[in-house]
């Protein structure tokens, strides 16, 4: 972040909230945002009368970046395909499922976060001018705690066969209950981590990496010769020494036809 940008952010915060963040920083005593704003990602308790960090950030910016769909996300997050990082580069990106299909638009995202602190005056003020996109009304939005209540695979893959079940356009408002249920922490019916077979959250196999097409697909390519989920297209022998004839890790794994687009 450029120095001038940081100065402007602190000055704006001071002007709107009566703080002295810029003065403190100039004296060599910068304040961590999470010293006031709670943040589960840092296990920071914050101050109960202040909005949590994610609610404050998304709630504020949603009032200025409404109607921009995924482009609003790209303004701050490294998710743009044109950006240097391209953090969102997995199978979902390749088939046209973007940030908003899982997390909702910035307006939706902010309203869900603000709702967890609905008794806070700042929450009510920031939510007042926002209208949901993926929900019929604000009342339908389920309050969520940042970092702990996120969309999950089964928000869409209800029967682990989306080609049969279909996709209704969004996983928004279908949160996992907490930390243990997050994709990165989840296991299957036998204790195997979901990510061990499917890859990391935003780079699901087969991923496309602009710095080397198969950089994120080394594991499946090494063990099965396909840049897809471990075990896809009947490749159970990657791990199993006998033929698998029954679904083990989850439903709809064995003896189902997959579209050819899933094979690199």
pLDDT digit string, tens, across residues 3-43: 999 999 999 999 999 999 999 999 999 999 999 999 999 99
Q: Which of 46-55, 80-89, 154-163, 166-175 has the least mean pLDDT?
A: 154-163
Phi/psi of residue 193, nearest 5 degrees = -60, 135
What is the C-alpha separation between 220 and 229, in angstroms, rounded? 7
What is the C-alpha separation between 69 and 169, in angstroms, rounded? 14
The partner residues of 44 in beta bridges, in order of sequence, read 39
Classified as helix, coil or strand, 44 is: strand
Q: What DSSP string runs through 122-181? A: HHHHHHHT---SSSSSGGGSPP--TTTS-B-GGGT-TTS-HHHH---S--TT-B-SSGGG
Model confidence at 262, in pLDDT bands (50, 70, 90)?
A: very low
pTM for the model: 0.87
> Tokens 């996109």 sit at which residue?
133
Q: Indicate the average pLDDT of the chain.
A: 89
Neighbours of 54 (CB within 10 A): 23
Report whether 89 contacts 202 (CB < 8 A): yes
Domain coordinates of the chain in residue numbers? 150-264
pLDDT at 249: 85
């Amino acid at each position: 972040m450029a120095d001038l940008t940081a100065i402007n952010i602190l000055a704006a915060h001071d002007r709107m909230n009566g703080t002295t963040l810029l003065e403190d920083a100039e004296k060599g005593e910068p304040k961590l945002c999470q010293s006031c704003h709670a943040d589960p990602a840092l296990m920071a308790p914050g101050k109960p009368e202040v909005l949590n960090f994610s609610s404050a950030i998304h709630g504020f910016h949603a009032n200025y970046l409404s109607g921009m769909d995924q482009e609003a996300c790209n303004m701050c997050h490294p998710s743009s395909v044109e950006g240097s990082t391209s953090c969102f580069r997995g199978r979902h990106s390749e088939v046209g499922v973007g940030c908003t299909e899982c997390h909702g638009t910035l307006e939706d995202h902010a309203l869900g976060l603000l709702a967890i602190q609905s008794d806070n005056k700042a929450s009510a003020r920031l939510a007042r001018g926002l209208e949901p996109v993926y929900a019929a009304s604000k009342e339908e939005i389920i309050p969520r705690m940042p970092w702990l209540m996120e969309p999950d695979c089964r928000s869409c893959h209800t029967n682990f066969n989306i080609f049969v079940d279909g996709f209704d356009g969004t996983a928004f408002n279908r949160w996992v209950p907490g930390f243990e249920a997050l994709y990165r922490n989840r296991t299957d019916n036998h204790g195997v981590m979901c990510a061990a077979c499917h890859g990391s959250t935003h780079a699901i196999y087969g991923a496309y990496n602009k710095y080397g097409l198969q950089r994120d697909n080394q594991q499946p390519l090494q063990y099965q010769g396909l840049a897809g989920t471990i075990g896809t297209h009947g490749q159970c022998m990657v791990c199993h020494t006998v033929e698998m004839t029954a679904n083990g890790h989850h439903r709809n794994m064995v003896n189902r036809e997959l579209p050819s687009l899933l094979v690199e």
